[in-house]
Amino acid sequence: MLTVADVQMAAERIASYVRRTPLIGARCLKENPFPECELLLKLECLQVTGSFKPRGATNKLLSLSEADVRRGIITASGGNHGLAVAYAGWLTKTRTTVYVPENVSPDKKKKLAAWGATVEVCGHHWHEANREALAVAERDGLTYFHPFADPAVIAGQGTVALEVLEQAPEVDTLLVAIGGGGLISGVALAAKAIRPSLRIVGIEPTGAATLYESVRAGRVVELPGITTRVPTLAAIRTEPVNLEIVQRYVDDIVLIEDDDMREAARWLWFEMGLAADMSGAAGIAALLSGKVRPKIGEKVCVLVCGAGPDGLA
């Protein structure tokens, strides 16, 4: 089982390769929809490649043997994880292949190529692209990077929580977007080890309620389909390692609509000048829609986990 020591070791390992991102207060707003609480934003949208994902991918890379790296690396992604793996491959000049679904952002496809990755399009959703990536990894002997169920990836993502608790030690609640569950697994594990009273709330789209349904059932549930338009949050199932951590450490999971995330991305752009993708706006969407209602005086931190142009239109 992963522990906070694994996250702390990951933080030391990746320190030279990722950014320590800012944590800022949401002040000086034209209209403040959250007057009862102190709102903080952890700007992982300013992380290298535009999301938190290089934390996990870089930790995975630096955990590998030289032979594993030399064989070449491969993954499947809705965009952000693929960019992180492409970045890891670029660091070591390693042949990198990223399978993406048809609904991936065109901008993210261009960025993948710019980081030097070979981009292959397969299937309508991540799980279809992932099935092909696994088959190719097996056939060609490539090293596979799982986007959310690999212990090294989870530990790397958990380094976000270490930074938040150094920057804002008295934070009461963390709002964390959920795709497959890698980010919330690492963050919850690390945060609860340091501050057991800290409240962790996961945010999922109604069209991909993967962890929500799995927690409710007490087992990993594969959804019958995906309807969300947010490719970075479109996992049809989680994995046992993620579910176990979420069951143990996450206090609540709320569901939001895609339109709520788009409106929240617009709010972040208008009020804060932040270009977040829809997944990066998920925590703000939960607040604006009333799915999360802070208490008076509560200090709430939203992980703005990904960059993109969704709020600019």
Residue pLDDT, tens place only, 167-203: 999 999 999 999 999 999 999 999 999 999 999 999 9
- Contact predicate 18/47, CB 8 Å: yes
- Are residues 258 and 128 part of one domain? no
Q: Is residue 67 part of a domain?
A: yes
- Alpha carbon 105 to its chain's center: 16
Q: Within this chain, do residues 197 and 214 fall inside the same structural domain, yes or no?
A: yes
The pLDDT of residue 29 is 76
Residues 60 and 170 in one domain: no
Structural domain count of the chain: 2
Distance of CA 186 to the CA centre of its chain: 10
Show the beta-strand stretches assigned E in the chain: 23-25, 38-43, 73-76, 96-100, 118-121, 143-144, 173-177, 199-205, 252-256, 299-304
**Structural domain contains residue 312:** no
**Class of residue 188 by CB neighbours under 10 A (exposed 0-12, middle 13-18, buried 19+):** buried
Whether residues 226 and 132 fall in one domain = no
Residue 199 within any structural domain of the chain: yes
Same domain, yes or no: 238 and 114 = no
How much is the pLDDT for 35?
83
Judge whether 310 lies within some domain. Answer: no
CA distances from 302 to 4, 25, 40, 165, 281 (A): 21, 10, 6, 13, 9
- Across 54-90, b (16+ Cβ under 10 Å) vs e yields bbbbbbbbbbbeeebbebbbbbbbbbbbbbbbbbbbe
Residues 38 and 94 in one domain: no
- Tell whether 57 and 11 lie within a shared domain: no
Asked if the structure places residue 18 within a domain, the reply is: yes
What are the structure tokens assigned to 85, written together? 């793996």
Q: Are residues 183 and 46 in the same domain?
A: yes
The SS3 assignment for 83 reads: helix
Sign of the CA dihedral 145, 121, 19, 285? Answer: negative
DSSP 270: I
Q: Any idea what DSSP says for residue 36?
A: T
The residue count of the chain comes to 313
pLDDT in tens, 101-150: 988 888 888 999 999 999 999 998 888 999 999 999 999 999 999 999 99
Tens-digit pLDDT string for the chain (313 aa): 899 999 999 999 999 999 999 999 987 777 778 888 999 999 999 999 999 999 999 999 999 999 999 999 999 988 899 999 999 999 999 999 999 998 888 888 899 999 999 999 999 888 899 999 999 999 999 999 999 999 999 999 999 999 999 999 999 999 999 999 999 999 999 999 999 999 999 999 999 999 999 999 999 999 999 999 998 899 999 999 999 999 999 999 999 999 999 999 999 999 999 999 999 999 999 999 999 999 999 999 999 999 999 988 7
Whether residue 27 is found in the same domain as residue 108 = no
Which structure tokens are listed for 193? 């080890």
Report the pLDDT value the prediction gives residue 237, as an integer from 0 to 100: 95
CA–CA separation, 166 vs 104, rounded Å? 34
Model confidence, pTM: 0.95
73 and 218 in a single domain? The answer is no
Rounded Cα–Cα distance for residues 244 and 47 (Å): 28
Kindly state the tokens that stand for 169.
């030690």
Range of the domain at 129: 53-148
Select from 101, 133, 148 the last residue of a domain. 148
Residue 63 lies in a domain: yes
Q: Which domain CATH number covers 263? A: 3.40.50.1100
> Domain boundary residue among 131, 148, 165?
148
DSSP structure class, residue 198:
-
3-class state of residue 307 by DSSP: strand
48 & 59 share domain: no
Last residue of one domain, picked from the residues 128, 148, 168: 148
List residues bridging with 98 in a β-sheet: 75, 119
Q: Which residues contact 167 (CB under 8 A, 6 or more apart)?
A: 23, 42
Based on the fold, state whether residues 63 and 192 are members of the same structural domain. no
**Rounded Cα gap, residues 200 and 236, in angstroms:** 22
Residue 68 domain flag: yes
Q: So what's the pLDDT on residue 99? A: 96
Q: Identify residue 174 by its one-letter amino acid code.
A: L
Q: Is 280 among the domain residues?
A: yes
